[in-house]
A and B are shown apart, each in its own frame.
Chain A
Amino acid sequence: MKSQYIRSFFVALFLFPLILNAQESSLTQFKTSKSIGKAPVIFTTSFDDKVAAKIESTNNIKDDDKEEYARYTNYALNSLLQSGLVLYGDPMTVFVEKVAAKLLANEPNLEKELQFYVIKSNITNALCTDPGVIFITTGLISQIENEAQLAYIIAHEIVHYQEKHLEESFNKSKETNLEITTSYEDLVLLSKDHEFEADANALKLYHAAGYSDKEINTVFDVLMYSYLTFDEVKIDNSFFGNPEVYIPESYFPEKANPILAFEEYDDSKSTHPNIRRRKDAIANEIEKYSDWENNSHFIETEEFSYVQNIARFESVRENLLRSDYIKSLYEIYILEKEFPKNEFLQTSKALAWLFMSQTNLSGKKRSFIKKIDEKEGSISMVYSFLSKLSSEEMALMAVRQTHDIHKEFPSSKRIKEIRDEAISALAHVRRFDINKLEKISYLDAIKLREEYLTDTVQTDTLAIEGESKYDKIKRIRAKQSSTKSTTELIDENFSAFLLYDLVGNREFNEIYEKEIEKIKNEKGYTSLSKKERKQLKKERNKKLEGDIILITPQLEANYKGNFDLDKTLLFYDIMVKEIPKYAPTERVYDNSIALAEDFTTEKYNEACLINSYLVQKINLNNGEFKDQIIDYEDMQGLIKKFNNPYLVLISGEANKSSIFRNSLSGKAQYIEISTGNVLKSNYYSVNLKIRKASVGGLVFEVFSKF
């Protein structure tokens, strides 16, 4: 018996570091989180069944309104579940569930009713939807400091559910005859009273679970500063990695913009009271409880920090997806101190620089650098610095950064590809002359010049008689050039020295020349004859070959400008029936997130991946440059399953402005995933209501490209 204890102790001892190692390594090889395990019931239940169940279980709403309430809440929930952002079974969700279990230890009935999921979103938020589904964002997990803070937020959301706040809001809006809309924000539009109630009542669960009262105030601070990155660190030269690289200080502002958030902001138009009022109110409530315990965590802190790091890695990815490159770089800068040589972080960094360079060269710099004055904290330094860079300087910086990362991970083909793309981008810089790049670094050039000057002090003193001022300058400059540098050593010229180690590199020059050649060939198209242009046009109108990946269409029906749920559902319904009639069925793969019985986790993860790709595609402003997919490996795996797949996005809108005036319009976009090329269908518009012919026409139009 005794030996058994010892054995299990040893097993535990061995297992523990093993788990830690596993966690550590999974961050080294970080890939975006996926859902794991069996699909939860809400994913496999159809809309109608959910509505029926909701009607059954709703008590506080008038019988006449029950169906409407059930339909609207479930539509909102479904929209969220089908967003491709919801995770289940992953470490983050498991952690949230554990914290919730701790809170609900004394409420077994409530525990059964509630479900918890994590949403991949950088918005710091938690949501409660009516069927008892609580969502925590990765943004929130990345910002909070410990388990207790998460527990308080979860408790707050549980109270919203417990007290049926959503139903109350619905009833209130019915009373005041406000139009019910299904936008998610509106659905969770709980009055400030509800917030105070949730803040106060959350204490009951929180206190009972044994968490410390000292963490509560911090939660409000977390919320207040949540618009900032998850940490605030000083920017110094290490931001650019390579110590050989000279970045002029004059490119940086003297100091970062101050952080301005304050607690007593005007909350008159907000659904939530301001932080000051919430803090004051909760301080009184806290006093009502005695015997506070002092626990900031019950689960191992390692697990929390592991989960938090996943959330932070997700944040880096999410910022890249949404083209928020600078935020992404700043987060990487914070994270790489803890995770040096992390391939995911470094690949993301390379991607961020490449995207910035490409976006800048496409003339869309403002898409990622804007409102610099409004940026707060040290990240404003980075914004300010990058905004000062010219296209050429940014392109050269991108090569510098990606090349350094490539040197760090020489075996990574992916990073090499990114670096090569960054070099190719140089060829697109206007009036760029590769021959003007220097072969020594700026710092070396300065050193050489100093050495030279000390060497020549004596000779210089021997002024040649009769030499004019200008002859003298010429003579000195000629000597300067013997320092291997012809460029003047002033801050503005720093970029000429950035690629000192690459200039002589054959591969570098080859990639550059190849791109120059390619650009020349492409330019030839403008001088085509009429016949050739016609031919080209014909080719462009050629039918698309390859598989078709369908995702959930974006359909919406309005009646007199207001969202019409019934008609929207009808729109979807007809669309689903019409697609098989006009689509080349043998090539179509439906990757929409359909909440039905045949839902599988594998299919769901694939659909989520495609959705992320789409988010990136929508936010990317890289013009003619080839897309670099952020979830590279996962996407490669997916693409291999298909034959040159096209992602087809259908959007449609139906409007009924009066009994006689109907219109239905829509269009489709076709994204060739392998190249990132986007084609568009013709705009479809008919003066018909939602019916077989009108929706069928749209489907016909969409698939006539294949």
Chain B
Amino acid sequence: MKNLHLIIFACLLFCFSQSTYGQSTNFFNQKNIFSVRASFNPRLIPIGQNGNYTDDGMYANEGVGRGTYYQYYDQNNKLVGGDQKFNLMLNASYKRIYNSDKVIGVEFNYQKHNLTINETANIGFTEDDYDISKPFLISTPVFNTYDIQILLGSFSDAVLAPNQHLFTYGLGVRMFSLDQDQNYRIDSETPITDLDDFLDDYEKVFIYTRFSMNYTYRMLITKNLSLDLGLNFNIGLYQDMDAVDNLPMEYGYFTGESAAYSRNFVRNKLGHETFFNMLYFRTGLSFAI
């Protein structure tokens, strides 16, 4: 349990904030809050896939910042490298205020996520090494990411809710679904015509449980509308994040037994990548009524 400490920490925070005492009415009797926001976060992926730095391992992890690189084919089927240093996420949420300062709600998030390039792709691929007989040219998969979270929280009790300071905790799922409309290719000559060859069970979504802690600072524009600035701290509640087995384009692919990307590898890699995307900065508008 790598993130056990974080969870305990989060729970402590949660308990503490729930014990605060609020006022008995609301600002203009507003009880419903609808928000639309955009969040972005720096992709803070460490160098080492497995957290170790080894020179002689099968899957040595070298190359600073590779964790943010991906590659795709453009309209001219030309291989292009991308460096996604930031994620952009769109959020929509509905919150209901009860007991004058407590909040319960639901949040939907959407973001586009590029699986980062496989670490093994760039290292020491030689003609001699049959493991990687070809340069690693396959497109990295692109996922549509959807979050659904239940929110619980409270406004700071000193002033009438909804007010400036909102603390919420979210628990929900993050689902990754393969974007099927991309120009996926093995290389510039070889398009992937059957996505089954690209990703095992490509239609099945990857589901992760997530816990989040959010702080929102509301700046009132009119009595109903406010500009929100917020911080969002996400923790993925899953354990396997070592994408070191079932590497892409291995035996199975060439023998035709499995797709280029195995589910096991992708699941671990997505887990790893999103776990470290912990800190989001948010801004947007809230409408309270």
> Which residues of B, 12-66, contact A by the 8 Å Cβ criterion?
23-25, 27-29
- Asked whether A701 is an interface residue with its Cβ less than 8 Å from the other chain, the reply is yes
Give Cα A693 to B23, complex, Å: 18
| Contacting pair A685 B222 (CB below 8 A) | no
Q: From A693, which residue of chain B is reached at the shortest CB distance? A: B223
| Contacting pair A686 B159 (CB below 8 A) | yes
Q: Give, as a whole number of angstroms, the nearest-CB distance from A688 to chain B.
A: 6
Q: Give, as a whole number of angstroms, the nearest-CB distance from A446 to chain B.
A: 61
**Per-position binary interface string of chain A over residues 682-706, scored 1 when its CB falls under 8 Å from any chain B CB and 0 otherwise:** 1111111000110011001100100
Give 11 pairs: A residue, B residue, CB < 8 Å, sorted on A: A663-B159, A686-B159, A686-B163, A687-B158, A688-B220, A692-B223, A693-B222, A697-B27, A697-B28, A704-B25, A704-B29
Q: Chain B contacts of A682 at CB under 8 A?
A: 23-25
Of B28, B164, B220, the residue contacting A700 (CB under 8 A) is B28
Give the secondary structure class of A's interface: mixed
Q: Give, as a whole number of angstroms, the nearest-CB distance from A500 to chain B.
A: 53
Give Cα A687 to B157, complex, Å: 11
Q: From A688, which residue of chain B is reached at the shortest CB distance? A: B220
Q: From A701, which residue of chain B is reached at the shortest CB distance? A: B25
- Asked whether B195 is an interface residue with its Cβ less than 8 Å from the other chain, the reply is no
Q: Chain B contacts of A663 at CB under 8 A?
A: 159
| Contacting pair A696 B163 (CB below 8 A) | no
Q: Which 4 A-B pairs have the closest CB atoms?
A: A693-B223, A682-B25, A685-B159, A687-B164
Of B23, B29, B220, B223, the residue contacting A685 (CB under 8 A) is B23
> Which residues of B, 203-246, contact A by the 8 Å Cβ criterion?
220, 222-223
Give the secondary structure class of B's interface: loop
Q: Chain B contacts of A696 at CB under 8 A?
A: 28, 223
Of A687, A697, A701, the residue contacting B223 (CB under 8 A) is A697
Give Cα A696 to B222, complex, Å: 11
Q: From B221, which residue of chain A is reached at the shortest CB distance? A: A693
Give Cα A688 to B28, complex, Å: 14
| Contacting pair B29 A700 (CB below 8 A) | yes
Q: From B226, which residue of chain A is reached at the shortest CB distance? A: A693
CB contacts between A and B, total, < 8 Å: 36
| Contacting pair B23 A686 (CB below 8 A) | no
Give Cα A215 to B28, complex, Å: 63
Give Cα A587 to B25, complex, Å: 24
Q: Chain B contacts of A693 at CB under 8 A?
A: 220, 222-223
Q: From B157, which residue of chain A is reached at the shortest CB distance? A: A685
Q: Chain A contacts of B220 at CB under 8 A?
A: 688, 693
Q: Give, as a whole number of angstroms, the nearest-CB distance from A577 to chain B.
A: 14
Q: Chain A contacts of B25 at CB under 8 A?
A: 682, 684, 701, 704
Q: Give, as a whole number of angstroms, the nearest-CB distance from A669 to chain B.
A: 16
Give Cα A696 to B163, complex, Å: 15
Name 17 extra pairs, CB < 8 A, besides A684-B25, A688-B220.
A682-B25, A685-B23, A685-B158, A686-B27, A686-B159, A686-B160, A686-B163, A687-B159, A687-B163, A687-B164, A693-B220, A693-B222, A696-B28, A697-B27, A697-B28, A700-B28, A700-B29
Q: Chain A contacts of B222 at CB under 8 A?
A: 693
Q: Give, as a whole number of angstroms, the nearest-CB distance from B266 to chain A.
A: 46
Q: Chain B contacts of A692 at CB under 8 A?
A: 223
> Which residues of A, 320-361, contact B by the 8 Å Cβ criterion?
none
Q: From A691, which residue of chain B is reached at the shortest CB distance? A: B220
Give Cα A682 to B27, complex, Å: 11
**Per-position binary interface string of chain B over residues 155-192, scored 1 when its CB falls under 8 Å from any chain A CB and 0 otherwise:** 00011100110000000000000000000000000000
Q: Chain A contacts of B158 at CB under 8 A?
A: 685, 687
Q: Chain B contacts of A686 at CB under 8 A?
A: 27, 159-160, 163
Give Cα A307 to B163, complex, Å: 57
Give Cα A400 to B64, complex, Å: 98
Give Cα A685 to B22, complex, Å: 11
Q: From B164, which residue of chain A is reached at the shortest CB distance? A: A687
Give Cα A701 to B100, complex, Å: 13
Q: Chain A contacts of B160 at CB under 8 A?
A: 684-686, 697, 701
Give Cα A117 to B217, complex, Å: 53
Give Cα A663 to B165, complex, Å: 14
Q: Chain A contacts of B163 at CB under 8 A?
A: 686-687
Q: Give, as a whole number of angstroms, the nearest-CB distance from B26 to chain A.
A: 9
Give Cα A582 to B82, complex, Å: 56
Q: Chain A contacts of B24 at CB under 8 A?
A: 682
Q: From A582, which residue of chain B is reached at the shortest CB distance? A: B28
Q: Chain A contacts of B23 at CB under 8 A?
A: 682-683, 685
Q: From A684, which residue of chain B is reached at the shortest CB distance? A: B160
Q: From A704, which residue of chain B is reached at the shortest CB distance? A: B29
